[in-house]
Amino acid sequence: MAQSDTVFAGSIPALYNRYLGPLVFEPYAADLAALVANGPAECVLETAAGTGILTRALAAMLPNAAEIIATDLNQAMLDFAAATPGVERVVWQQADALALPFPDHSFDVVACQFGAMFFPDKVAGYREALRVSRPGGRFVFSVWDRIEENEFADVVTASVAALFPHDPPYFLARTPHGYYDNEKIRAELAAAGFGRVEIETLAHRSRAASPCEAAIGFCQGTPLRNEIEARDPSRLAEATDVATAALESRFGAGPIEGKIQALVITASR
């Protein structure tokens, strides 16, 4: 993983939330929140909370008495999340999912939406989720399926890569869509100490008001931006325009939609 893959700073949090939130994250947030609520959930920890897309779904779905603690490695993402409506009862705390600052057996559920792909040591992150889970507790999380099953991300990656043929930026394929092997996920959860693992492949439709909005989300609202600017800071707008044209060519000029697909995992002792 490139060092820039975990840098969500500057204008990235706002663009990420505005464009990618409804585009790819909100449908799965509803699914994951329902999974959390389908069992004991008096005390819930969210790791890699980002701009709070899953957090808002949890706050809306769980009873008011339920305690929700949301954490992320990036303070800039947490600052943005904490300022959004609907999360007033959430406790926000900067934390590394690989070294959680909580006692053993503290939570009924540990939830993580599209964050595990960024863990530099997956087993260490899973072991921490197990450590802070109460007996009978659950670790529920989602990861993206291969990029070919996620049409907008695939088109954007190919179009932007063509601008830099000698050093193509492959953030989306490498990290968000680089951790989808079921057997590897099962093996790493088992190595962390989980005994029961259920994996569901879940497809949704991704919708954007225009190709431009989808292109802005991916090119400017993710660390793909860091890769583009590292190669040539003056070409971010060009890369966004190229991605817009590619999406329009594939999906049309008006409101567009395409397939997205993820793995939703439940692990328990």
pLDDT per residue as tens digits for the range 144-186: 999 999 999 999 999 999 999 999 999 999 999 999 999 999 9
Region 38-49 average pLDDT: 97
Could you report the per-residue pLDDT of 96-105, keeping only the tens digit for each?
A: 999 999 999 9
> In the beta sheet, which residues pair with residue 265?
141, 199
d(CA 3, CA 182): 25
d(CA 43, CA 10): 32
Task: Return the number of other C-beta atoms located less than 10 Å from residue 238's C-beta.
Answer: 14
Strand-pair category, 107-113 with 43-46:
parallel
Cross-sheet strand order for the sheet of 91-94: 91-94, 67-72, 43-46, 107-113, 133-144, 256-268, 196-208
pLDDT at residue 2, rounded to an integer? 62
Strand-pair category, 67-72 with 107-113:
unpaired
Confidence of residue 13 (pLDDT cuts 50, 70, 90): confident
Region 109-120 average pLDDT: 97
Residue 134, amino acid:
R
d(CA 263, CA 142): 6
Could you report the per-residue pLDDT of 232-264, keeping only the tens digit for each?
A: 999 999 999 999 999 999 999 989 999 999 999
pLDDT at residue 5, rounded to an integer? 47
Provide the whole-model pTM. 0.94
- Please identify which residue in the block is written with the tokens 């900067």: 94
CATH of the domain spanning 3-268, picked from 3.40.190.290, 3.40.50.150, 3.90.600.10, 3.30.365.10: 3.40.50.150
d(CA 50, CA 194): 25
Burial group, residue 11, by CB count within 10 angstroms (0-12, 13-18, 19+): exposed
SS3 content of the chain, % helix, strand, coil (to 5): 45, 20, 30
d(CA 38, CA 52): 20
> Does residue 8 carry a pLDDT above 70?
no
